[in-house]
Amino acid sequence: MTRSAETAGYQFNHTMIRIKDPKRSIQFYTEVLGMELLSEAKFESFTLYFFAYDHSGGTLTDREKKNSRFNREGVLELTHNHGTESDASFAGYASGNTEPGKGFGHIAITVPDVQAACARFEALGVPFKKRLTDGSMRHIAFILDPDGYWIEIVPQRLQLADDDE
Amino acid sequence: MTRSAETAGYQFNHTMIRIKDPKRSIQFYTEVLGMELLSEAKFESFTLYFFAYDHSGGTLTDREKKNSRFNREGVLELTHNHGTESDASFAGYASGNTEPGKGFGHIAITVPDVQAACARFEALGVPFKKRLTDGSMRHIAFILDPDGYWIEIVPQRLQLADDDE
């Protein structure tokens, strides 16, 4: 498929999911998954949080990270509608993987060592949807974020076998 | 927030959403949005399609693109459960933006020229959720993919103003 000159420079910048409690989600995405909080944008009734991995080796300043928000790929946007974190009647958000509301499936993090990553998630008490040892696909796992969204943990494979689709 | 050595090398690889009809979705994501179909993986009851922007300037071979599937960011995975495309009783997937099933919000594509991008989407007959001229945020738009998922179209801003959160 040849790419149109009209779409040159386009980037798949971010994916947005809604969250109930920013305190829990920020802790999870930064401390458990190791992303950086690039920036946040507070509005009257909601706040947006933008996360991404810093692949610069630590050379980017906070200002540069913040500026990269709309000019890179691999950004995760979390939307917090104020009040859900303390609203006992709030039913929570749908993961997208069950009816009603099936559609969105998951986000995926690739890791250099999937065994080590999953052992660390276990040690941190992260809930699993699918451990490496569950089911037939023994090289991938699914963990759950604080809202119950599925996060696939996938090994970084530098080269697929010729017959591996 | 300091990044843990234990998560060094992690990448936000992909986002997965389910689609009804791969023919329509492949046409949309490649021809309208300009992504490349990196690879596909066919299983008994479903097929996975992996898309991403090729930022190499066309120097990557098909094999290299395919191998990049699990070793880069900004990948979109579409899951097609076989049969939905011709099942008159299939109700379609939830966008994640209305109850029941609220949770996932959107994916976002950043573009060098948001006015030109939106004019092209109009000319191609792409449905809009929010035109640039709708609402108070005049610099962003939302289009709809063939399943009704929201796609935010955002200008690439190289630098935010100091007071712009």
Total tally of structural domains belonging to chain A: 2
pLDDT of residue B4: 75
Question: A54, A85, A116 — which closes off a domain?
Answer: A85
pLDDT at B160: 56
pLDDT tops 80 at residue B164: no
Residues B24 and B54 in one domain: yes
Verify that B52 and B116 share a domain, yes or no. no
* CA nearest to A108 within chain B: B14
Q: What percent of chain A has pLDDT over 70?
A: 93
Does residue A72 sit in the same domain as residue A110?
no
Whether the pLDDT of residue B21 is over 60: the answer is: yes
Domain-embedded: residue B90: no
Closest-CA distance of chain B to residue A148, Å: 10
Catalytic residue among A36, A40, A85, A152: A152
Residue A159: per-residue pLDDT: 54
For chain B, what is the mean pLDDT?
92
Q: Across the interface, do B71 and A33 touch by the CB < 8 Å criterion?
A: no
Tell me which residue range forms the domain holding A153.
105-165
Say how many CB pairs under 8 Å bridge A and B.
230
pLDDT in tens, B32-78: 999 999 999 999 999 999 999 999 888 889 888 888 898 999 999 99
Q: How many residues does chain A have?
A: 165
Are residue B27 and residue B77 in the same domain, yes or no? yes
Provide the 3-class DSSP secondary structure of residue B117: helix
- Do B112 and B56 fall within a single domain? no
Check whether residue A78 and residue A112 sit in a common domain.
no
Question: Is residue B123, in this structure, part of any structural domain at all?
Answer: yes
Distance CA B136, CA A86 (A): 29
Assigned domain for A91 exists:
no
Residue B77 resides in a domain: yes
- B1 part of a folded domain: no
Q: Among this protein's residues, is A152 annotated catalytic?
A: yes
- Asked whether residue A110 is domain-assigned, the answer is yes
- Is A103 in contact with B147 (Cβ distance < 8 A)? yes
Coil, helix or strand at residue A163: coil
Q: How far apart are CA A51 and CA A157, in angstroms?
A: 24
Model pLDDT, residue B57 = 83
User: How confident is the model at residue B25, as a pLDDT?
Assistant: 98
Tens-digit pLDDT profile for residues A121-134: 999 999 999 999 99
The reply to whether A134 falls in a domain is yes
Q: What is the pLDDT of residue A158?
A: 54
CA distances from A111 to A91, A130, A138, A156 (A): 32, 16, 15, 6
Q: Does residue B79 share a domain with residue B109? A: no
Q: Residue A3 pLDDT more than 60?
A: no
Rg (CA), chain A: 18
Mark yes or no for CB contact A156/B54 under 8 Å.
no
Instruction: Indicate if the alpha-carbon torsion angle A18, B116, B17, B157 is positive or negative.
Output: negative
Q: Tell whether A131 is covered by a domain.
A: yes
- The pLDDT tens digits of the residues spanning A23-57 come to 999 999 999 999 999 999 999 999 999 999 999 88
Q: Which residues in B41-62 are b (16+ Cβ under 10 Å) and which e?
A: eeeeeebebbbbbbeeeeebee
Domain containing B149 — which CATH number?
3.10.180.10
Residue A40, annotated ligand binder?
Answer: no
Residue B5 to chain A, least CA–CA distance (Å): 9
pLDDT of residue B159: 53
CB–CB contact A71 B36 (8 Å): no
Quick one: B78 and B132 in the same domain? no
Please indicate, yes or no, whether residues B77 and B19 belong to a single structural domain of this protein.
Answer: yes
**Mean of pLDDT values over A7-34:** 97
- The answer to whether the Cβ–Cβ distance between B157 and A71 falls below 8 Å is yes
Distance from CA of B102 to the nearest CA of A (A): 6
Answer whether residue A165 shows pLDDT above 50.
no
Residues at the binding site of B are 77, 106, 152
User: Looking at residue B1, what is its pLDDT?
Assistant: 43
Tokens of B45: 């009851």
Q: Is the ipTM of this complex over 0.90?
A: yes
